[in-house]
Structure 1
Amino acid sequence: MWTLMDSPVGELRIVEKDGAITAIEFTPYRDPDGRVRGDRADDHPVLAECVRQLRAYFDRDLKEFELPLAPEGTDFQQRVWSQLQGIAFGETASYGEIAHRLGMTNAASRAVGLANGRNPIPIVIPCHRVIGANGTLTGYAGGLERKQTLLDLEVDGLF
């Protein structure tokens, strides 16, 4: 099942499977990617709750998501995505810092970056909070403009 919502970073498609969020997709959508999405269901409880929480996040009223998540990926990707969820609202971490949190050296930064780029649930799993070692914005699947918008929203939302 899936639904759509407008946001400050463009329209988002939110996908649910078996009671958990499996994807949040930026436009333009890549339909022929092989993911099963099912029918549109704007009133599905998990999808409606995800939309509610995303709206609260964009309104700066929510700093931590509480949603059932089921991102599909390799064991390494899952480990990286788990670390991303530990980066607090308004904070950032470098790819090297994430590698170190996983017990690896800076040499794993590239692998962390690749896993970060394959995160199927951006915003909720905050891959936008990962930056280059020198503090610069580096790749983002949704584009650097969206990444900057999300980071600005969080910095402006700090009390």
Structure 2
Amino acid sequence: MNYRNIRHIVSSISIFVILFGGLSWLSSCSDIDCPVTNGVWANYVVQGDTLHDTLTISAIRESKSDTILLNKQINTTKFSLPMSYSSANDKLRFVFTSKTGVTTVDTVTISKTNISHFESVDCPPAFFHTLTAVAAKGTRVSQIKISNPNVDYDGTKEHILISFTNP
């Protein structure tokens, strides 16, 4: 055997070891379903007639500017909103704008218990919620009630049932 053949064999073995080691390393990794890809959102279902006005919903935040969560929805029958994990209450501003330009504002308060949820050390912290009460102030939200109090990764649950009065 000459030097050229030995070098070719060593080169082939090295390539095999590198490929095998790389494939072993890749197969040892797992795809963790972290909360970054699975949000915790409360699902609202409109009861009765569809809301025909334009609806914008903002989170009212203490000592901070409000954050728009739902912007200019029309013919709304259901919607989903994220929940805070640092407060026992979420306050939401519902702004209704009619086709003639008349604006009405209601405030919805959601009381809840925040429950830390451990997924994996590889994932950021997540919080589930147990809804304890909902209330509305204003003229457009005629009824609001809890349907399913457990807010988690299951996006199929109807958490809050809400009815509006149309002017």
Q: TM-score, normalised by structure 2?
A: 0.22
Larger fraction in helix: 1
Task: Normalising by structure 1, report the TM-score.
Answer: 0.23
Looking at CA atoms only, which structure, 1 or 2, has the larger radius of gyration? 2
